[in-house]
Structure 1
Amino acid sequence: MHEMALCEGIVEIVEAEARKGAFSKVKTVWLEIGALSHVAPEALRFCFEAVTAHTIARGAALEIIEQKGSAWCLGCSRSVEISRRYDACSECGSHQLQVTGGEDMRVKELEVE
């Protein structure tokens, strides 16, 4: 379950921001997670609670903003939405797609005290 390691990384980001911003408590963490990122949101929620238990993010809400996947079709030269890496182009049916979005996970925002 790589979500545990991802949550540890989130805590590192939160603690680094706390040092910069001089805050002592995190109320909410907003994450953007791409549809093609291979991150299971429910597993991430479970791990987040465990990993943050003894940190400044203890008890913080985790808000997940899911980002759709997108790709450039080499067949019809259009940008299309995809939900899985090997989807066909919704415009022309080609499988020659170059992923252009939806692979990332990032901390978008923190609500702090």
Structure 2
Amino acid sequence: MHEMSIALAVVEQVARAARSHGAEAVESVRLQVGELAGVVPESLEFCFELACADTVVAGARLLTEPVAARARCGGCGTEWPVGMPPDLCCPRCAGAETELLAGRELQILGVCWADGPALAPTHQEG
């Protein structure tokens, strides 16, 4: 389950940021998850809770923000929601010259320290 490796990486990055900012606890972590990132949000939340054990991140809430997949046709410029399973052929001209605009995101958007203000990360996964 790759959600565990993602959760471990997020916890490691947040714990490192907490140490460098002198934070003693983390209240929440905001994570952007694209529709095509191959992540099951419920599994990620479960793994996040396990990965947080015995860290400064223990007890923190994981707040996931979904990002819908969108594409644009290079031929006619039409934009459309890709959906699941992904439909990468242009609905207007049936062209296959497709640019994926959104949907593969997987990045930390912010962290809220339990004892201080929120922090937007300087390094993002993606």
**Shared fold, TM over 0.5:** yes
Instruction: Between 72-81 and 9-18, report the one with greater CA deviation.
Output: 72-81
The aligned residue for residue 39 of structure 1 is: 39
Distance 1:106 1:18 in 2: 17
**Could you tell me whether the CA contact under 8 Å between 1:72 and 1:97 is conserved in 2?**
yes
Q: TM-score if structure 2 supplies the norm length?
A: 0.80
Q: TM-score, normalised by structure 1?
A: 0.88
Report what 2:110 is aligned to.
109
Structure 1 segments of 4 or more deviating over 4 A? Answer: none
Corresponding position of 1:19: 19
| Percent pairwise identity | 31
How far residue 95 of structure 1 moved from its aligned partner, in angstroms, is: 4.2
| Larger CA deviation: 53-62 vs 95-104 | 95-104
Structure 2 unmatched ranges of 5 or more: 116-126
Contact 1:36/1:103 (<8 A) preserved: yes
Matched, 1:49 2:34: no
Higher relative contact order (Cα pairs below 8 Å, separated by 6+ residues): 1
CA RMSD of aligned residues (A): 1.7
- Distance in 2 (alpha carbons) for counterparts of 1:90 and 1:62: 36
- Deviation of the 1:83 alpha carbon: 2.0
